Every structure is written in structure tokens, then in C-alpha cells.
Amino acid sequence: MANANGTRVPSGEIGVTGLTSYGGQISQEPFRDLKGARGREQYRDMSLNSAIVGAILFAITQSARQVRWLVDPAQADDPEAERLATFVRGALFDDMSNTWEDTLSEILSMLVYGWCVLEICYKQRLTPEADDPSQRSQFTDGAIGWRKWAIRSQHTLDRWVFDDAGGLQAMIQQDPVMGTRYRMPIDKLLLFRTVSHLNDPEGMSILRTAYRSHYFMKKIETIEAIGIERDLAGYPVFKVLEDGPDIWNAHDPTMVTLKARMERIVKSIRRDEQEGLILPAWLEFSLVSTGGRRSIDPGAAIQRYTQQIAMTVLADFILLGHERSGSWALSSDKTELFSVALAGYLDSIAAVLNRFAIPRLLRLNGEPLALAPKVRHGDIETRDLGVLGPYLDVLVRNGLLTPDDQLQRWLRESADLPAGVDEGVSKRQDAAEGRMSHAVDR
């Protein structure tokens, strides 16, 4: 490759990313229990069986689902750009077999596993009555649209396919029921990641730094539950009386068997509606209760690990009030940090749509990529109108801000008020809809 002056410019890659992988299996994770399929099972266990992790994921998912998503034209006051924005808006929000909110929930599974893959399925927009889902659409312009973005479970991953320079080429998926393998090229997929390091397609789970705290908390909770049961029900003890058999005689097979049977009985004793024992005359049974308090409080340790887990994802505001402390200002600061983190994840989702999903769709329809619209999300938190109002008043009174249609629309959105009538926008939308069939015919 040469530049405008005829100077040769090196265009090939020489080095590699440094990502550790063998046969398409990523080995970047140093902890064995969090590698590959075993790691995905650990993260699923955390998301399903940990109360604090479940609360964090619920807060993130529900907060993200209520955020408003918008499609902006590439150029303001350009009828052609507005037409393409209307086209993408309808394809994304109104015409897929899954709602955008459900699709977003699938994408957010990347928070648990570090990554998420959706397969793009297309259709020709012909008629709402079509039996074939590849032709069923509420639009009848004959254009190519999205039928759905189908989730491809992280647990079905067999391996990744890379080129010589480390670029991702495909995902190999294995059907968990039939065992069939499918090769899905990257051009057919949308890959979402929490972070991108060394071009690792598996990113990093937001639960990664919380795993150690979760591991210890789970152990302590189990020990605490066993301890509570023993303290309440009593510690079971068998006492062999003086005229009883010598169960400690390891040379007598009968005594060995008898001792083992007694040990099984002790381990299985529970205080419930089916409790009861039948004992020989030479055997005495009792439940011994423990006295005094423990030198170590397991509840304090569990609370500490719970807080550490919440802190790793800036969601420790969930715990405010449970500790009978925490001011409103502290709560506001913590929720603001959480909103900033959530906005970062939503920004990364929008970037994938703008970089890959929308250009591919426009290219299939022969549309100019220079006018490709952009997807963006709205505000995470509701704006405090009591603060916003006086601030805008000061700006306007001092001539620092001039009200216009764009500001009015933004203020209506911020206050969740009905949209006003904008004559210019209305005319541009009417013109854009009139050109839709013309664009498809091209």
C-alpha cells in the first residue's frame, strides 16, 4: 500500500495481541475454577443462588429496561438522514419478534459472563399476514429488516476461531441436547463485552472481583446454618454403657460394622416431625446443648463479604438503611456512581449497534453508510426538576441560553411531558415517509 506521495506504507500486522488461547479455548484467567465452562457454571451459581448478587443484577437490569432509547439522524434537517433514522427506528423497536426490552435483557447477560453473542436473523418486510416469519412484518415496503437477534447461550460455547493475527473470525457452538456443532461467522453475530482487553472475546464478568468474597461468604453461611441447627436442636451423642459391646475393637468385623452404623445414625439425626430412635438397653442417647457465646460472630463476617460484593460493582447503595446508617447525601452520591457505571455499559451496547448492526442492515438495503443514524440511550436517573429549573432560569436571564425547539424537546423529555408540535420536524417526517418506497425500489 502506498500513500499519495507514492511512499510505501506497511499495512500488515507483525505482532500478536498476546491473548492466551489453545485450540480456540481462552486461557487468560489465572484461577482454574473460573476458566472455561467451569467458570461459567460458577458465575451462573453466583447469579442464581446469591441474594446480594441477585439484587445487584435485578437493579441493573430493571434500571436499564426503563431507560429510553433513541435513534438520531446522521444530519439534522436532512430529509434523507431522517428517512434512514425512521427506517432503523422501526426495524429496531417495532418489528422484531422480541421486544427491545427483552433483547436488552439478553444482552445484559454479558454482566454475569463477561460477554454475550446474538445472532442476527433478517427478513424481507412484505406483509403482517405472512406465515413465513422471514417475510412477516408490520411494514410492507419490501426492504430487508431484522427478524430477531437470537441469543446464543454462553454455556453452548465450544471454542472461538481466530485468524493468524488474533482477529476473531467465528464462534463454534455445540448444541447441549443433540451435540451438533455450528460455526457462526462473526459477520452474522453481535458480540457484546463488558471490557475489551487483548481482544478477548469473553471480556470479564462484573462478578470476577467478587468471587473470592462470595466463596468465603458461602462457606461461612453453610457453617452458620449448621451451627444454628446444632445449637437449637442439640449436639447428638451416643454413650455405650459399661455392659455394652466394645465398638472400638477394630479387629472385630461385627464391632466395626456396628460402630459405622451408629455413626450414620448420629449424622442423620434431625429434629422434625419424623424424629425418633429405637435403642438397645446398652446404648444411651442425648442431645447436648452448647453454652455461652462464640468468640467469632459469623453474621459480621457475612455482612462484610456482602458489602465487598456490592462495592465491586458500585452497588453498595443497596445496603444503605440495612445498617441503620447512611445519609440522603451519601445515598445520592452512591446511586450517581452506580448510574455512571450503568451508563458505561449502555454506551458499549450502543457502540456495537452503531458500529456493526446498523451499517450491515443499511448495506443490505443499498443505503448510503455516510447517512447511517446513531442509536443512543437516554438518562439513567430522573432529573431533579427542582434543581434544573432555577439553573435554566439563571442562564436565560443572563443571556447565556436561548430557548429553541431542540431545548424545548429536551425539557419535555426530562419532565416526561407530552411532545409538542414542531412544524419543521412534522414536515420532514412526512417527506421521509413519502420517500421510503422510492428508496426500497432502488
Per-residue pLDDT tens over the stretch 318-377: 676 555 544 444 456 667 778 888 999 999 999 999 999 999 999 999 999 999 999 999
Q: What percent of the chain has pLDDT over 70?
A: 87
Cell of 366: 443499498
Kindly state whether residues 245 and 132 are assigned to the same domain.
no
Looking at the structure, tell me whether residues 295 and 393 fall in a common domain.
no
Please indicate, yes or no, whether residues 25 and 153 belong to a single structural domain of this protein: yes
pLDDT at 264 over 80: yes
Query: Of the candidates 291, 288, 290, which has an alpha carbon nearest to the alpha carbon of residue 238?
Result: 288
Strand, helix or coil for residue 191: strand
Does 404 lie in the same domain as 372? no
Examine the domain organization and report whether 57 and 161 are in the same domain.
yes
6 inside domain = no
Find, among 414, 432, 398, the residue nearest to 406 by Cα. 414
* Confidence tier at 276 by pLDDT (50, 70, 90): confident
What pLDDT is stored for residue 438 in this prediction? 44
pLDDT higher than 50, residue 420: yes
Contact present, 33 and 215 (Cβ < 8 Å): no
- Are 37 and 111 part of one and the same domain? yes
The DSSP-derived string for 352-418 is HIIIIIHHHHHHHTT--GGG--EEEE--SSPP-HHHHHHHHHHHHHTTS----HHHHHHHHHHTTPP
> Would you state the pLDDT for residue 320?
65
Q: Given this model, what pLDDT does residue 295 score? A: 66
Q: Do 61 and 187 belong together in one domain?
A: yes
Question: Domain ends where: 381, 401, 433?
Answer: 381
Q: For residue 230, what are the CA distances in angstroms to 61, 177, 267, 270?
A: 39, 43, 11, 9
The pLDDT of residue 252 is 92
Confidence (pLDDT) at 432: 46
Residue 353 sits in the same domain as residue 416: no
| 349, 365, 381 - which closes a domain | 381
- pLDDT for the residue 338: 83
Pair 69, 376: CB distance under 8 Å:
yes
Q: How high is the pLDDT of residue 377? A: 93
Total count of domains within the chain? 3
Residue 437 lies in a domain: yes
Residue 152 pLDDT: 96
Q: Which three cell numbers stand for residue 154?
A: 454462553
Same domain, 38 and 109: yes
Residue 376 and residue 392 share a domain: no
362 & 396 share domain: no
Task: Output DSSP code: residue 275.
Answer: -
**What is the predicted pLDDT for the residue at 10?**
76
**pLDDT value at position 303?**
87
Could you list the residue range(s) of the whole structural domain that residue 247 is in? 226-305
Q: Lowest-confidence range among 24-28, 98-102, 281-285, 412-416?
A: 412-416
Distance CA 388, CA 396 (A): 12
- The residue among 383 and 69 whose pLDDT is bigger is 69
> What distance in Å separates the CA atoms of residue 148 and residue 363, rounded to the nearest whole number?
18
Q: Is the pLDDT score of 278 beyond 90?
A: no
Instruction: Among 11-25, 131-145, 170-184, 211-225, name the one with the lowest average pLDDT.
Output: 11-25
Structure-block grid coordinates of residue 10: 506497511
Examine residue 351 and state whether it is found in any structural domain, yes or no. yes
Residue-level pLDDT at 427? 46
The residue type at 318: I
Nearest to 103 by CA among 54, 150, 146: 150
User: pLDDT tier at 292 (50, 70, 90 boundaries)?
Assistant: low
Work out the mean pLDDT of the chain and round it to a whole number. Answer: 85
Percent of the chain, pLDDT > 90? Answer: 48
Q: Is residue 152 part of a domain?
A: yes
C-alpha cell read off for 292: 455461652
Kindly list the distances between the CA atom of residue 2 and the CA atoms of 239, 356, 360, in Å, as whole numbers in the listed order.
92, 28, 29
Specify the higher pLDDT residue, 229 or 95. 95
Taking each helix axis from N to C terminus, what angle separates 423-441 and 79-93, rounded to the nearest 10 degrees? 80
Contact 282, 244 (CB under 8 A): yes
